[in-house]
Structure 1
């Protein structure tokens, strides 16, 4: 059985992973929105077809990253939920557990 210090460390790592993926998902969503606005502006201004095609490809690449990142986030979230459920008693009253619970609540609310 792992010591409570090791469990707290694992909890922190899993929590930070969820936070990082959440941040990454937000970044890709902002990038997609920015590129969509750029494409819309180019269409409104009657931009050259090749320039427009290139901008649409960039938009498509940005949009493709969102489902992949969301899937990785959901997997990391499930892993953290499972970890907390299994080890909550062993790491009770630790800052790592509190951070994990706050992160779980925040990210679960945003994914719904």
Structure 2
């Protein structure tokens, strides 16, 4: 495999990782909000068993940790993808009209990091 082919493959892989992690951050954030709302509802209504409240808080905390972990991994993946995009832009002859480069740039714009 030539260097250009390897770099295009890496662009595709890193783009997929950034896209996936971006979606995961959104899903975990939504999950966290849902768990917190559920706990607040149980507390407001009263009569909920202590175990249910404790378990709801535990699930919300787990989602919060997953948001932080996924955000860290996303930041790392974005940095790696940016480096690859910079490399690709510095070699315009090899990456001219490259679908991988366009997809990578779109993923970076979407992730807003």
Superposition TM-score, scaled by structure 1 size: 0.89
Cα deviation 1:41-77 (Å, max 9, x = unaligned): 1001111222211111111111111111000000000
Match of 2:24 in 1: 24
| Unmatched segments (≥5 aa) in structure 2 | none
Alpha carbons 1:38, 1:55 under 8 Å: kept: yes
Q: CA RMSD in A?
A: 1.5
Whether the 8 Å contact between 2:31 and 2:63 is mirrored in structure 1 is yes
CA contact (8 A) 1:91 1:97 kept: yes
- Provide the rounded CA distance (Å) in 2 between the counterparts of 1:103 and 1:56: 33
Aligned 8 A contact 2:14 2:77 in 1? yes
Equivalent of residue 97 in structure 1, options 96, 101, 105: 101
Give the equivalent residue in structure 2 for 1:33.
33
Any residues of structure 2 matched to 1:1-112 within 5 Å, and which? 2-46=2-46, 47-88=48-89, 89=91, 90-108=94-112, 111=113
Once the two structures are TM-superposed, the CA of residue 86 in structure 1 deviates from its matched residue by: 1.4
Superposition misfits of 4+ residues, deviation over 6 angstroms:
none
Relative to the length of structure 2, the TM-score reads 0.89
